[in-house]
Amino acid sequence: MRRWLRKNWLNLLTLIITLILLLPYLWLLMGAFKPINETFAVPPHFLPKRPTLDNFIGVLSRGRIQRFFLNSTIVAGSAVLINVLFASMAAFALSTFRFRGRQVLVVMTLGTQLFPAVITLIALYHLWGSLGLLNTYQALIATYVAYTLPLAVWMLTGYMRTTPYEIIEAAIVDGCRRFGLFRHIVLPLSLPGLAATMVYILLVCWNEFIFAVTLTMSNEVRTAPVGLYSFMGEFVYDWNLVLAMGVLMGVPLTIVFLYLQRYVVQGLTAGATKG
């Protein structure tokens, strides 16, 4: 046993830490299948004694829930597409070409992430209000793009730097123009980085709450996190429905992550050792 512990102590420690990190999510998942009387049972129990789908039925029976998910899909999907388009072009310029002020620009881009986004909330509310865009998709999409674009540029810049410069030089010698170099060489080689960036943007935009609840006023525009908040009243909390809604919110993200997982790790780590 001592010999086994000496060889596998790191794996055992990793397993324990992983279980601790997963415990809240497992409790959320199990709680979504519990009836209301088991949710507040004393002493609490982890596994549901009488599993039920009534919580999910109760969530989906509220017609506005489908609208919340549709709004999240529109807003997050649009932000991902716009962000990847602009971030990939900016990262291509910062990683491929040498020009005065390039390093300063990279540092300034990353420096925008040092400040909490909530400090811009009042300014954004005033801006979209003066433009007549409060309670619109345009305001949310533009806000999310501005919020996630700097880190997306930084992530893609680090990844695109891993592209062998010999390939770029050979393409330039063969007469490839800059747009062709970006479209036919650098962009295809950067698919893992693009996948990691897309997952990051999707996670942020899908789960964001403060901007969504402040810049929207009607259920026609509000997103899924605001819909989750609607289950919490002034005096009564529908905790069983909150748990079910939380599980439903995680399903789309889980599907996307499982589909792109082979690219995500590679995309997040490829630029770590590239100067």
What percentage of the chain carries pLDDT values higher than 90?
Answer: 32
State the CATH number of the domain containing residue 94: 1.10.3720.10
Mean residue pLDDT of the chain comes to 85
In this predicted structure, which of 19-33, 117-131, 170-184, 188-202 has the lowest mean pLDDT? 170-184
274 is a domain residue: no
141 is a domain residue: yes
28 pLDDT more than 70: yes
In this predicted structure, what is the pLDDT of residue 270? 57
Each residue's pLDDT tens digit, 94-143: 888 777 877 788 788 777 777 888 888 999 999 999 999 999 999 999 99
Do 84 and 180 have their domain in common? yes
In this predicted structure, what is the pLDDT of residue 233? 64
Do 41 and 105 have their domain in common? no
Do 102 and 233 have their domain in common? yes
Query: How many angstroms separate the CA atoms of 130 and 14, rounded?
Result: 52
267 pLDDT more than 60: no
271 pLDDT more than 80: no
Each residue's pLDDT tens digit, 220-231: 999 999 988 877
In this predicted structure, what is the pLDDT of residue 274? 46
Number of structural domains the chain divides into: 2
Higher pLDDT, 114 or 198: 198
Do 222 and 253 have their domain in common? yes
In this predicted structure, what is the pLDDT of residue 178? 81
218-245 mean pLDDT? 82
For residue 273, name the pLDDT band (cuts at 50, 70, 90): very low
b/e per residue, 26-42, with b = 16+ CB within 10 A?
eeeebbbbbeeebbeee
Query: How many angstroms separate the CA atoms of 166 and 189, rounded?
Result: 14
Q: Which phi and psi angles does 237 have, rounded to 5°?
A: -110, 125
Domain coverage including residue 10: 1-52
Do 8 and 35 have their domain in common? yes
Do 113 and 133 have their domain in common? yes
Query: How many angstroms separate the CA atoms of 93 and 96, rounded?
Result: 5
What percentage of the chain carries pLDDT values higher than 70?
Answer: 93
CA atoms lying within 13 Å on the CB side of residue 212: 24
In this predicted structure, what is the pLDDT of residue 124? 93
Higher pLDDT, 18 or 100: 18
